[in-house]
Structure 1
Amino acid sequence: MTAPGRFITFEGIDGSGKSTQARRLHAALVADGQRAILTREPGGSPGAEEIRALVLQGDPDRWSAETELLLFTAARRDHLERLIAPALEAGETVICDRYVDSTRMYQGLSRGDLRARVDALHSLMIGREADLTVLIDMDPGVALGRAKARATAEERFEDFGLDLQRKMRAGFLGLAREFESRFRVIDGNRPEDEVAADVWAAVKPALMAAT
């Protein structure tokens, strides 16, 4: 019987470098001969990718926080059913760029006091936390400049501005204290290679415990 895989998520404010570090960790695991999948939220499955376009594009006020919460939860459920759960059951390491902690912040904190609803929906419809969450912590002003420099169509949340970035950084650090056994906080205000080395040092014990 195959041992279940490990579920590792990356979190952080927009432009923090979390996506880059998620890709680097995945590449390192594959190069080491390990079975690993890199995915993202919102998205990661065909249905969830369709919802991604709805929530990340358009005017900042396109959706209410309550509607966003339902859309993100629907995308996450499809992602869980079609990719995350089957891969974990097959013994693969799943690395996910954002997961429910982003919803706890962006919908549960930033646009209303909806944290209790986020947690209730997560418990009812998802029921799966990450085994380990890597939080890339970065100065909000620098991160927002990076995010805006990408100039993509998916800038709806970046368009809320620096105040949101600051609020989200404080919120993510609060989550790291709340779930201290699951979170590892990495200083992202350094060269990419240094950050990657610290990510590997944080993740390696969790991977070795699974073998």
Structure 2
Amino acid sequence: MFITFEGIDGSGKSTQARRLVEHLRATGAIAHLTREPGGSPGAEDIRRLLVEGDPGRWSAETEILLFTAARRDHLERLIKPALAKGQIVVSDRFADSTRVYQGATRGDLRALVDDLHAQMIGVEPDLTLIIDMDPDAALSRGLARKSGEDRFEEFGASFQHTLREGFLALAKSAPDRCRVIDGNRSVDAVAQEVLVCVDRARAHV
């Protein structure tokens, strides 16, 4: 099973992805925790180009190409081999982030994103969990981390509000696999709802 977490920066999805994998492993499942951009050595190299540096470092078109290259390597090296063995892959972001970040918010490039995805990736998650959170609170949390990977946070609050709208619209467009979870609650409350959604999805795989 392939499960992805999506949401705006600082929404808590990374924490929830980690907790889910810990739970799955505790039940005896073989589960991989991964992330995008990244997840494989080559993709991690590309990650540094994307998430560090000046916000205007790349055009949206260049970002799309870099993300697609990283995703292809991730797919070949980790995702497909694990799924072929019947294992579970939990990824902190996947193609939906590119659809929203580059395809919808940085120009009218969704058609380009979808075309590249169809040609080079061709895989959709079984379940996508979108952690929805107040953009202003999420931005404050994200910037407070001072991770050095805050290029997208530095686009500002209006960008984060636009991202949130993009993720909610995406959830409506793909109701069979997307579940929106209220992230404005305690970590434990969010984690409990995540488990409910995952258990339901696993029962139908």
Q: TM-score when scaled to structure 2?
A: 0.99
Matched positions, count: 205
For 1:207 and 1:73, the matched residues in 2 are separated by 28
CA distance in 2, matches of 1:7, 1:170: 24
Q: How far has the Cα of 1:209 moved from its partner?
A: 2.6
Match of 2:120 among 104, 122, 125: 125
Paired with 2:156 and 2:171, the residues of 1 have a C-alpha distance of: 23
Amino acid of the structure 2 residue aligned with 1:106: Y
What residue is the counterpart of 1:28 in the other structure?
23
In 2, the alpha carbon distance for the partners of 1:117 and 1:169 equals 21
1:86 matched to 2:81? The reply is yes
Residue 176 (str. 1) matches residue 167 (str. 2): no
**Separation of aligned partners in 2, 1:55 and 1:205:** 35
RMSD of Structure 2 on Structure 1 (CA): 0.5
| 1:101 match: secondary structure | helix
Matches of residues 189-200 of structure 1 in structure 2 within 5 Å? 189-200=184-195
Letter in structure 2 aligned against 1:78: D
The TM-score normalised by the length of structure 1 is 0.96
User: Within 5 Å, which residues of 2 pair with 1:63-82?
Assistant: 63-82=58-77
Question: Structure 2 residue aligned with 1:39, among 34, 39, 53?
Answer: 34
Secondary structure, counterpart of 2:42 in structure 1: helix
The structure 1 segments of at least 4 consecutive aligned residues displaced by more than 3 Å after TM superposition are none
Q: Choose from 93, 97, 117 the match for 1:98.
A: 93
Instruction: Tell me how far 1:205 sits from its aligned partner.
Output: 1.5
The partner residue of 1:19 within 11, 14, 36 is: 14
Q: Distance in 1 between matches of 2:157 and 2:32?
A: 32
The answer for unaligned runs of 5 or more in structure 2 is none
SS of aligned partner of 2:96: helix
For 1:59, the aligned partner's letter is D
Hey, what's the Cα distance between the residues in 2 that align with 1:28 and 1:149? Answer: 28
Shift of 1:20: 0.4
Pairing of 1:150-189 with structure 2 (within 5 A): 150-189=145-184
2:132 paired with 1:137? yes
Aligned-pair CA distance for 1:41: 0.2
Of 3, 6, 10, the residue aligned with 2:5 is 10
The one-letter amino acid of 1:79's match is H
Aligned counterparts of 1:199 and 1:52: Cα–Cα separation in 2: 27
